[in-house]
Structure 1
Amino acid sequence: MMMTKNKQSWIKLAAVLIPVLFSIPLVLGFFGAAHPALDSFSHFRMHLAVLMALSALPALFLRLWREGIMAIVLSMTALATVLTPPTAPGAEAAPTSLAQYKLLQLNLRYDNEQQAEVFRLIGRESPDVIALQEVSDNWRPRLKAIEARYPYTFYCSNRSPIGGAAILSRRPFALGSTPICIDSLVAIARIDFGGRSAIIASLHLDWPWPFAQDWNVEEIRPYFEKLEGPLIISGDFNAVPWSQTLKNITQYSKTRIAEGLRPSWLVNGTLARAAKWIGLPLDHILVSDRIVSTQVETLEPVGSDHLPLLLRFSIAGVDDGNEPEQQTVMLEKSE
């Protein structure tokens, strides 16, 4: 009988402690502004919240009502911050008279063994602009095959074997502008969309702390703060929408996330098609206030560990004659 009571005591203790253990990194992730290490925890908020709720169920079965209910309420509150992120102001519908364009966002994966699938995707969607990351030496010769369709190309140099960022466009770079690279983190080009220009940035950040993501953000900050006019930042941020990293970038660039929760990363192979349901949302498209009527679609996997995103958008307003058409040139000179 004594052994049975001891065993029951240990089971009850475990039923209380396991949710508490999940709650520690879950709560720490809300304080990402204090230190990048805490922001790293926020990337797993969705998964930790679900695990905490599930681990609280044994407490309810053992009639530990207060402990079980408190754990479930905390986990559901945390999950609500993920599933219902705050909507940034500025999203507006475009007049039907405005032309619509398409941008394809894709981390190619430097060693992708299904390169033909990528080109089939480009052929099917026929985007106006393509923002690419992990454009390795393995990819460069293959991409030359579509330069006739996308004659305006800009590649950033590789800082590692995984490659750099790139922009491929069917539409010309804006007159008087010069595309630039910020290290190999970001490729930036101002593109002429039939008389209205927009800045397109293809971005690839490092992983969160203890890796160099917070340093990356500080490196690109002065450039993003200077960009003016319609702006689209597309890329593999290696950061979730509710992270401090995304909050900082949207603040510096005066942009918003084009649409809500969009899981896009998971190991490729068997689990690739499950990425849009259980993967981490690491790929994003940020837009400024003159990029309107935005619609983002997650496409099928093409051999990468990231899913492609397709943005449909229009450009509102008329380019201001005082708007710095030399903006990218000015940035280049400031380096």
Structure 2
Amino acid sequence: MQCMTTKNKSWVALAAVLVPVMFSVPLVLGFFGAAHPFFDAFAHFRMHLAILMAIAAVPALILGLWREGLMAMVLALTALGTVLIPSPAPPAEAGTAQPQYKLMQLNLRYDNRRQADVLRLIAREAPDVITLQEVSTAWRPRLKGIEERYPYNLYCSNRSHIGGVAILSRRPFALGTTPQCVDSLIGLARIDFGGRSVIVTALHLDWPWPYSQAANVATINPYLERLQGPLIIAGDFNATSWSQTLKSIGDASRTTSAEGLRPSWLINGTLARGARWIGLPIDHILVSNRIIQTRVETLPPVGSDHLPLMLRFSISGVDDAGPDQQTVMLEKPKQ
């Protein structure tokens, strides 16, 4: 009996060491996303893996395996720190207060059965601009009903039954510009906000490796590099804010995240209500340096597996001259 007890203790001790190691492998691989999209796929779950690893390290500490337990705990907390520690905020712009505007971002979910809740949210919040994803055939009649309030709109063609992206605006498109779509991945429209124009982009990327997310990024980045003037990119990136995908798009467009860590996705249904606490932060709003005084909040769920985001922002008082007045012309960049 004593032999069996000792043997059982050995197995428990081995498990207490191996379980944290199991979580550490994908956790560490996620830091090498720049090397290959395969590694970046692990990065999206860094926050969850780090928390699981920290919890898994507790039994080792209880069993007196201090070295192994502390090493696992330090690695987990260090990885978690790269997610939770916010980036330094840009300095606030001095000068007179600028008018504030609102942009709502939402992946509608193509088969959302609570379409009326979405429309009530839009009516209650009254955003100036709305960026949407998964605008399926089932959604078009519903959205048609609010076009009187949002007469300026762009719908990009569906890639599949889940639908495409769309931009709805109460404010006019900038004079002489043409809203355009790029491979059904993004829609772009230069919108006039009281005499200052801003390029608003609605984006929807595919899932990470082994799906086509990396190819999507390679397609859209040459277009983003050419955009001039104030820019807002809002959408369902299917990628976290610390991933290589977000870094690549931010570098190409010269934008930064307006919201930091903001969980927004969880499996649809009852669990979706917990998205803001335990979900994946894959819905983002990126802004250029002339989009100022930004504040982002998550709104209550409205039947989608994604939470709505609301961006409140102002536009820098720099005069809109020169490149900012260029028409959005998105001819395919030369290879």
Whether TM-score is above 0.5 comes out as: yes
Q: Which residue of 1 aligns with 2:69?
A: 68
Letter in 1 for 2:30: G
Amino acid paired to 2:164: G
How much has 1:317 moved relative to structure 2? Answer: 2.6
The number of equivalent residue pairs is 333
Residue aligned with 2:192, SS: strand
Which residue of the partner structure matches residue 47 of structure 1? 48
Distance 2:167 2:328 in 1: 14
In the alignment, the residues of structure 1 paired with residue 332 and residue 72 of structure 2 have an alpha-carbon distance, to the nearest angstrom, of: 54
Equivalent AA in structure 1 for residue 83 of structure 2: V
Q: CA deviation at 1:333?
A: 6.7
* Structural RMSD (CA): 1.4
Structure 1 gaps of 5+ residues are none
AA aligned opposite 2:4: M
> Measured at CA, do residues 249 and 91 of structure 1 come closer, stay the same or move farther in structure 2, by a change above 3 Å?
farther
Contact kept in structure 2, 1:94 and 1:293, CA below 8 Å: no
Please tell me the residue identity of whatever aligns with 1:244: Q
Q: Distance in 1 between matches of 2:96 and 2:161?
A: 45
Please report how far the alpha carbon of residue 96 of structure 1 lies from its aligned counterpart in structure 2 after TM superposition.
4.7
Do structure 1's residue 112 and structure 2's residue 120 form an aligned pair? no
Output aligned runs, 1:271-286, within 5 Å: 271-286=271-286
Q: Could you give the per-residue CA deviations for residues 125-172 of structure 1, whole angstroms, max 9, x where no partner exists?
A: 000000000001111111010111000010000010000010000011
Residues in 2 aligned to 1:70 and 1:162: alpha-carbon distance in whole angstroms: 45
Letter in 2 for 1:290: R
Distance in structure 1 (CA, Å) of the matches to 2:41 and 2:143? 34
Kindly indicate whether the alpha-carbon contact (under 8 Å) linking 1:107 and 1:306 is maintained by their aligned counterparts in 2.
Answer: yes
CA distance in 1, matches of 2:68, 2:97: 58
1:37 aligns with 2:38: yes
Q: Which residue of 2 aligns with 1:256?
A: 256
- Looking at structure 2, the residues matched to 142 and 160 of structure 1 have their Cα atoms a distance apart, in angstroms, of 19
Q: Which runs of 4+ in 1 moved over 6 A?
A: none
In structure 1, what is the Cα distance between the partners aligned to 2:318 and 2:170?
21
Partner of 2:307: 307
CA–CA separation in structure 1 for the residues paired with 2:135 and 2:189 = 17
Residues 91 and 292 in structure 1, CA contact (< 8 A), matched pair in contact too: no
Structural mapping, 1:185-334, within 5 Å: 185-329=185-329, 331-332=330-331
TM-score (norm 1): 0.96
> Is 1:172 equivalent to 2:180 in the alignment?
no
Is the deviation greater in 92-101 or in 189-198?
Answer: 92-101
What is the deviation of 1:327?
3.8
- Map of 1:147 onto structure 2: 147
Residue pair 1:107, 1:304 contacting (<8 A) in 2 also: yes
1:7-46 map, 5 Å: 7-46=8-47
Name the CA shift for 1:125/1:119 in 2 (closer, same or farther; >3 Å): same
TM-aligned CA distance change 1:188 to 1:261, over 3 Å: same
- 1:318 is displaced (CA, Å) by 3.4
User: Bigger shift: 91-100 or 260-269?
Assistant: 91-100
Q: Match of 1:128, as an amino acid?
A: D
CA contact (8 A) 1:221 1:249 kept: yes
Cα shift at 1:271 = 1.2
